[in-house]
Amino acid sequence: MTFNNFGLLDELLRAVADKGYSEPTPIQTQAIPMILAGKDLLAGAQTGTGKTAGFTLPLLHNLMKKKRTKPVPRALILTPTRELAAQVEESVKSYGKYLPLKSTVVYGGMSINSQMAKLRNGVDIVVATPGRLLDLVNQRAVNLSQIEILVLDEGDRMLDMGFIHDIRKIISLLPKQRQNLLFSATYSSEIKKLADGLLHSPMVIQVARDNAIPEGVSEEVYPVDSKRKCELLSHLIRTLEVRQVLVFTRTKHGANRLSDQLETNNISATAIHGNKTQSARSKALADFKRGSFQVLVATDVAARGLDIDQLPLVVNFDLPHVPEDYVHRIGRTGRAGNEGKAVSLVCIDEHKLLRDIERLLKREIPKIHLPHFTPDPSIRAQPIMCGRGQGRRPNNGPRRHSKPPFRR
């Protein structure tokens, strides 16, 4: 099976060949013919399976079948995060570089005036985050009445981030006759409920079981005292001798603190999170991909949808509160059939979170006990020094009263 078997336009096949692809992935093999046929689609696929190309190629093909003299928004792709929106639009431009179709991306954190100017010049495809798109709609900068194809990418994450009301508002602005495509890394009951209200007699694809870790990814848990997580992380980075490492923290402040600590340990690191401007986030990601930094420290909001070629190692410095987010994090490595490694640094306060993750996966994750880092289980971990629990009062015994207690 090759891309030539789909009947795609020669210009699209040429762009695919330029990227060095010859055989489609399973999600592409199933999704592309259905989308070309104009059917609604609900696709459950893990990250790194090629689902972006799975909807981008047939979307471009279908738009070219009904060309218009003046570009108007005819396809809308919604994503939950700025980084994912930028990457999807980059794919649209890459696969459509030999076509006359125009696209643009709109999201918060960037100048809305420049985005309005691009929309006024005319575009065929809009890639957007829900909030900024509604801002542009309210300013009458974009007209969605001619949308022929709607794509919801990372639908599960959109629900997690509370975008359901924005999505419903946007859908109410679209024409009733359109093609709807819903892609999701996980296939939960909430996604099925969203699909029931959005899709019309959809075709359903599930290329991997729910909450499956990509093949080729090895997982390990390192028990460690919370105060020594930074030390253990530095040790692992040096001993594993990996070129690039993506590290997840639970908080924005924790990402900054950990990045600074790694720098003091002579490990080049940078951080991305929601408090940073979009230009700063984009620069940090570009610098990391270019190899200027060995470690990228990120929160879940900033890291969802990051596409980093051949990323060898992902580290959970803090375990996520939502077990499904563990699957999303691990999906950053082992992409497109490559091998990868996922390491979690777990202190005693996180044992319940680990059990929740293992319950979701329906298996235990191997535990690696390093003698110099394994904590004494009888000693409760103190508040973490970088990445977790900042601002908490150390447990130095009972508080002292400013006045003696009342005695009878």
Answer yes or no: are the C-beta atoms of 382 and 227 closer than 8 Å.
Answer: yes
**The two structure tokens encoding residue 117:** 């100017």
Query: Phi and psi dihedrals of 406, rounded to 5?
Result: -65, 135
**What does the DSSP assignment read for 159-194?**
HHTT-HHHHHHHHHTS-SS-EEEEEESS--HHHHHH
pLDDT confidence tier of residue 382, bands split at 50, 70 and 90 = very low
Q: What is the mean pLDDT of the chain?
A: 85
Look at residue 48 in the predicted model and tell me its pLDDT: 66
Quick one: which of 344, 356, 355, 313 has its CA closest to 220?
344
Mean pLDDT across 134-161: 92
- Find where tokens 């985005």 sit: 115
The per-residue pLDDT for 46 is 66
Q: Which pLDDT tens digit goes with each residue over 181-226?
A: 999 876 667 777 888 889 999 998 877 655 667 677 899 999 999 9
Q: Which of the given ranges, 34-48, 184-198, 299-313, has the highest pLDDT on average?
A: 34-48
The rounded distance, in Å, linking the Cα atoms of 39 and 199 is 9
Quick: pLDDT tens for 71-86: 899 999 999 988 889 8
Report how far apart, in Å, the C-alpha atoms of 252 and of each of 49, 130, 272, 352, 388 are. 29, 22, 8, 23, 10
Question: What is the spatial distance between Cα 303 and Cα 139, in angstroms, rounded to a whole number?
Answer: 30
Please give the share of the chain, as a percent, with pLDDT higher than 90.
57
pLDDT band for position 104 (50/70/90)?
very high
User: Kindly report the CA angle at 138 between 180 and 134, in degrees rounded to 5?
Assistant: 40
Check residue 109 and give left, alpha or beta (phi > 0: left; psi -120 to 50: alpha).
Answer: left
The amino acid occupying position 333 is: T
Q: 22-26, 68-72, 133-137, 162-166: which range is least confident on average? A: 68-72
pLDDT of residue 377: 54
| Cα-based distances in Å from 390 to 349, 385, 393 | 15, 7, 9
Which pair of structure tokens corresponds to residue 78? 């919604």
Question: Would you give the DSSP letter of residue 213?
Answer: P
**pLDDT value of position 294:** 95
Q: What is the pLDDT of residue 209?
A: 56
Residue 218: the pLDDT is 92
- Least Cα distance to 128 among 179, 94, 166, 177 occurs for 166
**What pLDDT score does 278 carry?**
74
The answer to whether the CB of 211 falls within 8 A of the CB of 261 is: no
In order of their start, the domains of the chain are 3-206 (3.40.50.300), 217-361 (3.40.50.300)
Asked whether the beta carbons of 94 and 47 are under 8 A apart, the reply is: no
pLDDT: is 23 or 310 the higher one? 23
User: DSSP label at 82?
Assistant: H
CA dihedral (382, 384, 388, 392) in degrees, to 10, reads 60
Concatenate the DSSP letters of all residues of 289-352 into one string.
HHTS-SEEEE-HHHHTT---TT--EEEESS--SSHHHHHHHHTTSSGGG--EEEEEEE-GGGHH
Cβ–Cβ under 8 Å, residues 76 and 174: yes
Q: DSSP letter for 74, please.
A: -
Q: What digits encode the pLDDT tens for the residues 318-341?
A: 999 988 888 888 878 877 667 889
Instruction: Provide φ and ψ at 32, rounded to 5°.
Output: -60, -50
The β-bridge partners of 247 are: 297, 315
Q: Residue 181 and residue 147: Cα distance in Å, rounded?
A: 13
Residue 99, amino acid: L
CA-based nearest residue to 131, from 184, 183, 170: 170
